[in-house]
Amino acid sequence: MTTSPAHTAVNGKTSTTKTSTTKAVLFHELGGPEVLTTEDVPLADPGPGEVLFRVEAVGLNRAEALFRAGTYYYQPTLPASRLGYEAAGVVEAVGEGVDAFAPGDAVMAAANFDFGIHGVYGERVVLPQESVVRRPEGVDAVTSAAVWLTYATAYGGLVETGRLAPGDHVLITGASSGVGTAALQSALRIGAIPIATTRGEAKRQRLTELGAPHVITTDSQDLVKEVKRITGGQGARLAFDAVGGPGFAALGDALTPGGTAVLYGWLDARPLELSMNWPLTVHTYSHAALARQEAFRRRAAAFIGSGLAGGTLTPVIAETFDGLERMVDAHRLMESNTHTGKIVVTV
């Protein structure tokens, strides 16, 4: 970060403020990972209700690749749009009225904001205090960068929205993703029975090693038949889906009558198809909307913190890249779909 003095005359007196810059990852056009650039950008002092923190690690999410490509549910404002939902760091300064955080606090971004307005791919960022949460006690920055959005989404989708209970069978699609592995661990922690899905055989063994008692390879197995077999013909009570599209109907077919499907992503952009296995409850899940509620942030933090402390929640980190300049490589890995778990970039 660089600073330079700026002089302002007020009531005949001259005051000095600092104009700062910091490095951040931006994109000036829609496209693949190659459109990402690392640049110097202005950094304002934190205003009322704001927190400035130094970023130590950034966790990548599929939404960021969609936004960069122009296929997210809202469009970037070009040129020079920012990216990044999830980061861990240390507070350097707070604005007027901030009493929940102080310099030196270890924190994470709460991922409850829109890209373009905010974005945490940078060395230092300023966020509203309601978009900051404390890091779990004693947890390092890389692990913390892989924690909040994945586990808070799993907790919010499975527990608060889906009402998952001990003994329930829950069908988890995209189970090798960051949220998928978090959902797998969260379901096991609750005492539910996860049924993980993956497209090919390559990730089956890894999901088994992560504790999945059942794994369905959708490229070669009939999802509905396999779920019915696993559940003794009853079907799963809950489906937790990252994909959507025409395949969403099969998830409903695989549920017990009166079951619930929670859709938290749309990796398949084609129109959604619904099952006729009624009655069926369908929820669309928005982490950002739920995480704007302070009470939810407290409950999610308690679930995550106690799970980490007890060892029932352990973030799966696929690979760590060193430096913002490696963000292009990190995005390429994310789009390859060959990894299991979370991709992290240290700063």
CB 150 within 8 A of CB 315: yes
255 & 277 share domain = yes
Distance CA(149)–CA(151), nearest Å, equals: 6
What is the domain range of residue 231? 149-288
Mean pLDDT over each residue of the chain, to the nearest integer: 93
pLDDT of residue 202: 86
**Residue 109 lies inside a defined structural domain of this protein:** yes
Q: What is the CATH number of the domain that holds 221?
A: 3.40.50.720
Buried/exposed 204-229: b ≥16 CB within 10 Å, e otherwise: bebbeebbbebbbbbeeeebbebbbe
Residues 142 and 7 in one domain: yes
Residue 10 lies in a domain: yes
3-state secondary structure of 16: strand
Q: What is the pLDDT of residue 9?
A: 34
pLDDT confidence of residue 18: 57
| Domain total in the chain | 2
Q: Residue 171 in 3-state DSSP?
A: strand
- 235-261 average pLDDT score: 97
201 and 188, same structural domain?
yes
pLDDT per residue over 147-164, tens digit each? 999 999 999 999 999 999
Q: Which of 6-15, 112-121, 172-181 has the lowest mean pLDDT?
A: 6-15
* 298 domain residue, yes or no: no
Query: What tens digit of pLDDT does each residue of 323-333 get?
Result: 999 999 999 99
| Residue 156 in domain | yes
Q: For residues 57-94, b (16+ Cβ closer than 10 Å) or e, as one string?
A: bbbbbbbbbbbbbeebeeebeeeebbbbbbbbbebbbb
15 has a pLDDT exceeding 60: no
The predicted structure's pLDDT at residue 51:
98
| Together in a domain, 180 and 68 | no
User: What is residue 19's predicted lDDT score, i.e. its pLDDT?
Assistant: 60
Distance CA 72, CA 67 (A): 5
Is residue 308 a part of any domain in this protein? no
What is the mean pLDDT of the segment spanning 56-73?
A: 95
State what percent of residues in the chain have pLDDT above 90: 90
- 272 pLDDT more than 80: yes
If one counts every other C-beta atom within 10 angstroms of the C-beta of residue 149, the result is 27
Same-domain check for residues 235 and 268: yes
Checking if the pLDDT of 208 tops 60, the result is yes
Give the residue among 154, 22, 20 at the shortest CA–CA distance from 89.
Answer: 22
- Average pLDDT of the segment spanning 333-346: 95
Q: What is the torsional sign of CA 70, 39, 59, 290?
A: negative
Q: Out of 288, 304, 333, pick the residue that ends a domain.
A: 288
* Residues whose CB is less than 8 angstroms from the CB of residue 6 and which lie 6 or more positions away in sequence, other chains included: 16, 17, 18, 19
Q: What are phi and psi of 217, to 5 degrees?
A: -95, 105
Task: Give every CB contact of residue 55 below 8 A, 6+ residues apart in sequence.
Answer: 87, 88, 89, 120, 122, 123, 124, 125, 347
- Say whether both 71 and 157 belong to one domain: no
Confidence of residue 10 (pLDDT cuts 50, 70, 90): very low
List the single range of 266-270, 291-295, 341-345 with lowest mean pLDDT: 266-270
What backbone phi and psi angles, to 5 degrees, belong to 203? -100, 0
- φ/ψ region of 245 (left if φ > 0, alpha if ψ in -120 to 50, else beta) reads left
